[in-house]
Amino acid sequence: MLRLLLARLGQAALVMLAVSAVSFGMFRFVGDPVAALSRENATIAEKAELREQLGLDRPVVVQFAGFLSRIVRGDFGISFRNQRPVATLIAERLPATLELVLVATLLSLALGIPLGVLCALKPDRVAARLVQAVSLIGISTPTFVTGIVLILTFAVTLGLLPSFGRGETVQIGPWSTGLLTLSGLKALILPSITLALYQLTLIMRLVRSELIDVLSSDYIRFARARGLSARHIHFTLALRNALMPVITVTGLQIGSLIAFAIVTETVFQWPGMGLLFIQAVSFSDVPVMAAYLLFVGLLFVVINTAVDLLYALVDPRLRVRA
């Protein structure tokens, strides 16, 4: 077990090094912060001075080494654009993104599982067919379209929900939450639906196919033969087994939800990390972009490692093989 843990952590460290190298390398080509930061009338000397201040005049290798050594010390640098520590900027934005992702995940589970069960158990019902058809739309419509359509319907036409922002937030220590105010909750509805839609359809389809699979296996047939109630068979025996892959996928999807909340956050002006990243890209704010990519990389590595280790705990066969 310890060997497995060490091997996984070693792999994780390598992946992180690769991520940092890729993200750093990429920024050499996404643009020049000097052009974005200097004033319109800037003289050549002014621009050269700024380049020197930002350390962009040094060789790439030296810049990368400096970047790595600072990261290792936990120093993510200072944003070129608003001159505040990047770590603070990310910490400020983290609660907004996490709350959105949390609500979206709960929503997709709460709706996806029952709908999936419905489609598996009563495949011929009109409702089930309707759900199946609608789910195709959900999986194929781009997020920004869904977002705008929701805004036009619920904010502009019906005037029920706010079209942007987080509403009022309450500060609890370093955490700003929108879950405790009415306007905060209302503001969560549209973005979380937009973000959850893809995930929801994914879970629904997964539950459906897994459940159909499980229902045709031997132990279910024997359970039926024993005369157990359909309710007991479906929900206690079958669903439990069908949910195993759903848990894995949901875990992994949380990572991508955080990473790909960018579009939803942009459409709804949700002040989370995705919006921070988008702003940073348009101003070539390298420290912010680098820190964000590292964060997302770390998130995936941590989630994957955790899932691997959990598997090993749950399933002894994997433990032996590893």
Which residues in this chain contact another protein in the complex, by CB under 8 A? 29-32, 34-47, 50, 52-55, 75, 77-85, 89, 92-93, 144, 147-148, 151-152, 155-156, 159, 162-166, 169, 266-269, 271, 275-276, 278-279, 281-284
217 vs 269 by CB, closer to another protein: 269
112 vs 184 by CB, closer to another protein: 184
- Per-residue HEC secondary structure of 194-208 comes to HHHHHHHHHHHHHHH
Q: Kindly state the smallest distance separating residue 31's Cβ from another protein, in Å.
A: 3
Number of helices (H) and strands (E), helices first, in the chain? 14, 2
**Residue 246, both tokens:** 């759903």
Question: What does each C-alpha distance from 48 to 20, 52, 70, 153 come to in angstroms?
Answer: 27, 6, 24, 51
CB of 176 closer than 8 Å to CB of 99: no
144 vs 235 by CB, closer to another protein: 144
CB of 273 closer than 8 Å to CB of 89: no
Q: Kindly state the smallest distance separating residue 44's Cβ from another protein, in Å.
A: 6
Spatial CB neighbours of 154, under 8 Å, sequence gap ≥ 6: 160, 161, 189, 190
* Residue type (1 letter), 43: T
Q: Kindly state the smallest distance separating residue 38's Cβ from another protein, in Å.
A: 7
For the chain, the C-alpha Rg in angstroms (whole number) is 24
Q: Kindly state the smallest distance separating residue 167's Cβ from another protein, in Å.
A: 10
**Residue 40 φ/ψ, nearest 5 degrees:** -60, -40
50 vs 212 by CB, closer to another protein: 50
Q: Kindly state the smallest distance separating residue 105's Cβ from another protein, in Å.
A: 23
15 vs 161 by CB, closer to another protein: 161
Q: Kindly state the smallest distance separating residue 86's Cβ from another protein, in Å.
A: 10
32 vs 213 by CB, closer to another protein: 32
Residue 78, SS3 per DSSP: strand
- Quickly count: other Cβ atoms within 10 Å of residue 258's Cβ: 22
134 vs 152 by CB, closer to another protein: 152
Burial of 25 (0-12, 13-18, 19+ CB in 10 A): exposed
Q: Kindly state the smallest distance separating residue 16's Cβ from another protein, in Å.
A: 23
278 vs 318 by CB, closer to another protein: 278
Buried b (16+ CB within 10 A) or exposed e, 97-110: bbbbbebbbebbbe
CB of 286 closer than 8 Å to CB of 33: yes
Q: Kindly state the smallest distance separating residue 289's Cβ from another protein, in Å.
A: 10
